[in-house]
Amino acid sequence: MERTAMRAGKGRRRIMLVEPDPALIEVIVAATIHRFDAQVTCAANAADAMDHHMREPHDLIIAELDLHDLDGLELARRITTLREQPIILLAENITSDQAIEAMRLGIRDVFRKPFPVARLLDAAESAISAFEMRQQHRARYDRLRGLVRHVIRERRDLYRRMNLVCRDLVGSHKRLVSRLAANDSAVRD
């Protein structure tokens, strides 16, 4: 199931909702479409979520912790090995071990059901903004790194050319001095 909405002035975001409960899906999708300029992809299980995500990476994953086919933490682990991105988990109950594992995996937030949808959307917006800012910083860093590499290559090339020019000048100077010495000795004779 895929729903989209467009809002002027912003790029289109991709959000995946991995949730087996159709009623909760409807509530979250409606609120998400109302709030974001987003393409929302819904999956009822981890296998469908991985299929969707492999075809088209998403900017945010909101996933149920207790999926029928795979633990939400394992889904998060698999997704983050493909690409770094924010993940928010939804859970009926969460153990302290699961919470610790969620922190280790870099899960952005865990919402215990029932939760206010507005809080989920606030967390989603914060996660997406932070993710986009990290991507911009990474792109800026990569551009700067590319420029530094270019400057270093140009500097090496310039150094090599300067060495050639200096060798040519030294060689020309030696030839000139030997000609002058030959002319000077010819004049003295």
Residue among 117, 94, 115 nearest 107 (CA) = 94
Residue 76 lies in a domain: yes
Facing residues of 61 across strands? 16, 87
The phi, psi pair for 72, rounded to 5°, reads -60, -30
Residue 93 lies in a domain: yes
Domain total in the chain: 1
Q: What is the pLDDT of residue 85?
A: 86
| Cα angle 102-103-106, degrees, rounded to a multiple of 5 | 90
pLDDT in tens, the chain (189 residues): 444 433 333 457 889 999 999 999 999 999 988 888 788 999 999 999 999 888 888 889 999 998 888 888 999 999 888 888 899 999 998 889 999 999 999 899 999 988 999 999 999 999 999 988 988 999 999 999 999 999 999 999 999 999 999 998 998 888 888 888 888 777 776
Q: What is the pLDDT of residue 70?
A: 87
H helix or E strand, kind and range, residue 125? helix 117-188
Residue 157 lies in a domain: no
Q: What is the separation of C-alpha 145 from the centre of its chain, rounded to a whole number of angstroms?
A: 16
Q: What is the pLDDT of residue 5?
A: 38
Residue among 117, 56, 34 nearest 43 (CA) = 56
Residue 178 lies in a domain: no
Q: What is the pLDDT of residue 87?
A: 94
CATH number at residue 57: 3.40.50.2300
Task: Give CA–CA dist 178/189, Å, rounded.
Answer: 16
Residue 83 lies in a domain: yes
Task: Give CA–CA dist 118/123, Å, rounded.
Answer: 9
Peptide linkage before 114 cis (omega within 30 of 0): yes
Question: How far, CA to CA in Å, does 137 sit from each of 29, 79, 87?
Answer: 30, 22, 20
Residue 112 CB neighbour total at 10 angstroms: 12
Q: What is the pLDDT of residue 123?
A: 94
Q: Going by C-beta distance under 8 Å and a sequence separation of 6 or more, which residues neighbour residue 102?
A: 73, 76, 89, 94, 110
Estimate the crossing angle of helix 96-105 against helix 72-82, to 10 degrees.
Answer: 10
- Domain range enclosing 55: 2-141
Residue 123 lies in a domain: yes
Residue 151 lies in a domain: no
Residue 37 lies in a domain: yes
Q: By three-state DSSP, how is residue 2 classified?
A: strand
